Amino acid sequence: MPDLILIIFYGVLISQIFLISYYYPNKIYQRMRYVTETYPPSIYPKLYPGLSGAGADDVARKKPNAYRYVNMAILIAGLFLLFNLMRSGFYPSGEGEETFVFLFALVQVAPLIYMEYSEFKQFKLMRKANLESKRVADLQPRHFFDFISPRVFSMAAVLLVAVFAFILHINDYDLTWGSDALISIMTIIGVHIYFAILVMWLVFGKKINPHIANKDRRIHMTVVVKIMVYTSIGMSIFIITNDVLQQYNMDYLQPFLMSIYFQILIIIGIGTMLRSTPIENMDFDVYKESV
Amino acid sequence: MEIIIDIDDPAPLFSQLMVQIKKAVLCDRICAGDALPSIRQLANDLDLNNKTVAKAYRLLERDSVIQTRGYRGTFVHPNAKANSTIDLNATVLAKLSETIEAFRDKGVTDSEIRIAFGTVMNNR
């Protein structure tokens, strides 16, 4: 039995390292390469604000390399860590190894977070450089349930209530100031308020990308709303499972659960984004100078 | 169905919006009963002030091209197509010009017409 736990622990860690630092980064890199090669700044200048003149195409083509190199470095570091863990005869005993898994996962997703930040900066530049006098809008109203099925949303809501009930139950309904239950519930509420604000801002707020075609904008909204709702479901399941493991003194399985949780989050987030928005179907003509 | 406004166009933005929505009705791109975006959504999408879109919606409602059904939102009026062909502004101008000409023919001065017009409007 202990050997099985060890095999599961290392198997899940190897899966985490490859999935978050190799498989998805490689897919994203291929996507970026495709965009920079198929839609270069010389023909699609609106896509690359601040990048113009001779050599702009080459600069754009080289940009995705940094993302690839950082991920490769994290992959090598992960494999090195794993190798050292195996060599030292490390065995998960439920004494906080999940923190190690969590911290390493944070390092793994750091390039993704930086990429998102860069994307927002690029959209800001796009809005600044946008001198187009014509503005286009869709005459179709948008509602939250255009982007997610009410059934899936209800499931997320029910699970959220179940998590609150579960937390209260295992903490003997102690909601005094500073209690574990109160902190957990407030944290979960905070995360969901953040999700709600993000969705409201995206669906009902101003256009982040001033050139995006309405069809692509709707697809993007659908993807983000789905990711948020599925993440909420995943989070609820994770919290309940994690607390059950603690209740039954199976803490040694927590690093395994933490790793699986992160991998599922990445599959939900990045996987859904890559699957739902195939680059070939996007309208890039809006980034041409003449449009 | 998309609408396009041009901020460099000399026509006021609310007027461009009205014309675009009426055109959409006349071309059957939106039909009676179809829902329209909220004022905030349209204003955000077009990067306009909410008041500009609200003014266009108010005037379209006056012309019975759209109708607001409380919290349920704004919809295309059942008689929108017929009402979109009538340019109320042009009708009012034509009628007023006709009346003013008739007064002038009878010897009423322009200042007397202005005072009378103001009195009638204020007594409404």
Whether residue A137 and residue B2 make contact (CB cut-off 8 A), yes or no, is: yes
Domain boundaries of chain B, sorted by first residue: 13-83, 88-122
Q: Tokens for A43? A: 């023909």
- Checking if the pLDDT of B16 tops 50, the result is yes
Pick the CATH number of B13-83 from 1.10.1040.10, 3.30.70.1140, 1.10.10.10, 3.40.50.2020: 1.10.10.10
How many other C-beta atoms can be found within 10 angstroms of the C-beta atom of residue A147? 21
Nearest chain B residue to A206, by CA: B44
- Rounded to 5°, the CA angle A81-A86-A90 comes to 100
What does the alpha-carbon distance between residue A73 and residue A68 come to, in Å, rounded to a whole number?
A: 9
Amino acid A8: pLDDT = 86
ipTM score: 0.77
Q: Are A35 and A119 in contact (CB under 8 A)?
A: no
Q: Are B52 and A212 in contact (CB under 8 A)?
A: no
- Checking if the pLDDT of B124 tops 80, the result is no
Question: Which of A260-274, B10-24, B79-93 comes out lowest in average pLDDT?
Answer: B79-93
Q: What distance lies between CA A154 and its chain's CA centroid?
A: 22
Q: Tokens for B106? A: 């009878």
For range B56-69, the mean pLDDT: 93
- Which helix H or strand E contains B82, and what residues bound it? helix B80-84
Q: Dmax over Cα atoms in chain A, in whole Å?
A: 69
Q: Best interface-test mutation with A: which of B40, B41, B53, B57 has the largest number of A CBs within 10 A?
A: B41
Nearest chain B residue to A138, by CA: B2
List, for residues A157-172, the tens digit of each pLDDT value. 999 999 999 999 988 8
- Rounded to 5°, the CA angle A60-A66-A68 comes to 110
Q: Best interface-test mutation with A: which of B1, B2, B20, B27 has the largest number of A CBs within 10 A?
A: B2
Q: Are B13 and B7 in contact (CB under 8 A)?
A: yes
Amino acid B88: pLDDT = 66
Residues on A contacting B at a C-beta cutoff of 8 Å: 133-142, 204-207, 214
| Helix %, strand %, coil % of chain A (to 5) | 75, 0, 25
What does the alpha-carbon distance between residue B95 and residue B85 come to, in Å, rounded to a whole number?
A: 17
Q: Which residues contact B49 (CB under 8 A, 6 or more apart)?
A: B43
- In the block, residue with structure tokens 């450089």: A129
Q: Are B38 and B66 in contact (CB under 8 A)?
A: no
On whether the pTM is more than 0.90, the answer is: no
pLDDT mean by block of 10 residues, chain A; 291 residues: 78 94 95 93 89 84 92 95 87 79 92 92 90 89 93 96 93 86 94 95 90 90 94 94 87 88 93 90 85 47
The pLDDT-based confidence of B86 (bands split at 50, 70, 90) is low
List, for residues A270-282, the tens digit of each pLDDT value. 999 999 889 888 9
Q: Which residues contact A228 (CB under 8 A, 6 or more apart)?
A: A195, A198, A199
Q: Quick check: helix, strand or coil at residue A134?
A: strand
